[in-house]
Structure 1
C-alpha cells in the first residue's frame, strides 16, 4: 500500500534544485537527497511529522517525540526548510486560545514528492498508529488539539490514510506489539499506558530505535 504524491520532483517555485544544479548528475542528486533525509535527527523529525494526526507538529511536540534537545531539533528544522522539504505554517485565525500554539512544522509540496520517491509515505499508517498509542502530557495534548492552518491539497491528500490492506495491518500490529514489550521504540515518548513501576529520572536520555 502506498500514499502517492504523483508528479515529478520539482523544487518550490522557480528555485534551483536544493540537491544540485544542472551540472550535477541525477544519481548524485539522489545520493545527496538520501543522505540528507537519513541523517538521524532529520529522519526522526520527518517520521514524527508524517505520523502526526493533523500532519502539522509544534516544536514542543517534536521535542517530546524526538530524543534531542530543543536547539538541535530547531537547527535541523531550519536545514529541512533550507532544502524545501519542510516549512513553518502559521495559524492566523481568531479562534485559537491565548496560550494555544500558532506555529507548526509540516511537509511542503516538494517534500511530499521527495519523500514519496524514497518510500516514506507508505509507512504513514504505521507511524500514525504508533503516535495514537503514545502517552501525552496535558501540554502536548493541548498542542495536538490546537487549531491549525489548512495545508495545500497536494500536501494533505497524500497523507490521508486509505483503506488499510492486510500487509499494512500486520505491520501495525507488529509495531504496537513491539512497543508493549519495550522493543522497536520509535518515538521518544512512553506508551499510552506506561508501566507504573518504572520511573525515568529527570534529564535521562530515552532510547529511540528505528523501526524501519
Structure 2
C-alpha cells in the first residue's frame, strides 16, 4: 500500500495539470491570497509579520502566522533576517518575502501584473506609527532574480 501512495505522489509531481491545480488551491485560499497581495503592494517586497497582519485586519494574528508558515513551507515565501535590527528596539529583524521559486509561481499565475494596483492601495492605506516604522526599517537585500522581477514592474507604477 505504501508503494501506491508513493507512486501517486510522483504521478502528481509529474502531472503539470495536477501541479497547477494544487498551486492554484495554495494561492487562492483567502488568507494566503491576502498575504500575497500585501507583499505585492509593499514598497520593499519584504514585510514584517506585523505589517502583513495590519493589511489583513479580518484575520487573527494566529491565522496569518499559520498561513505564512504554509507559504514558507511551500517555498513561495522565504524568511529574510536582518540581524542588526535585533539590537534596535521597535524595529523588526525578520521579514517575509518571495523566493525565486515563489516569483516564478506568481509570475505564472499573472500576480505580477497586479503590482501597480497593489502598491497604489498600499500607499493609500492609513498606517499607525508602528507600521510606518516597520515599513521604513532597514532590511536585507532580496535575491537578484526577485529584485529584477519587481523592478520590472516599478515602471508601471
TM norm. shorter chain > 0.5: yes
Residue 22 to residue 142, structure 1, CA distance change in 2 (3 Å): same
4+ runs of 1 displaced by more than 6 Å? none
Q: For residues 113-128 of structure 1, what are the structure 2 equivalents within 5 Å?
A: 113-128=104-119
- For 1:133 and 1:27, the matched residues in 2 are separated by 38
2:25 is aligned with 1:35: yes
Q: Equivalent residue for 2:78?
A: 87
C-alpha spacing 1:95/1:63, structure 2 compared with 1 (3 Å): closer
Structure 2: runs of 5 or more not aligned: 1-7
3-state SS, counterpart of residue 43 of structure 2: coil
The 8 Å contact of residues 86 and 92 in structure 2, kept in 1 or not, is answered as no
1:23: which partner in 2?
11
Note the 1:25-104 alignment, pairs <5 A.
Answer: 25-66=15-56, 67-93=58-84, 97-104=88-95
Native 8 Å contact 1:96 1:147 kept in 2: no
1:132 aligned partner: 123
**Structure 1 pair 92/127, CA: closer, same or farther in 2 (3 Å)?**
same
Q: CA RMSD in A?
A: 1.8
Map of 2:132 onto structure 1: 141
Partner in structure 1 of residue 155 of structure 2: 163
Q: Aligned equivalents of 2:119 and 2:146: distance in 1?
A: 16
Asked if structure 2 preserves the Cα contact closer than 8 Å seen for 1:96 and 1:146, the reply is: no
Distance 1:69 1:122 in 2: 28
Structure 2 residue aligned with 1:202 = none
Query: How many residues are treated as equivalent by the alignment?
Result: 146
Q: SS where residue 23 of structure 1 aligns?
A: helix
Kindly indicate whether the alpha-carbon contact (under 8 Å) linking 2:85 and 2:138 is maintained by their aligned counterparts in 1: no
- Distance between the aligned counterparts of 1:163 and 1:71, measured in 2? 36
Distance 1:146 1:72 in 2: 25
- Structure 1 position 54, deviation (Å): 0.6
Q: How big is the shift at 1:159? A: 1.1
Q: CA deviation at 1:95?
A: 9.6
- In the other structure, the counterpart of 1:190 is none
Paired residue secondary structure (1:121): helix
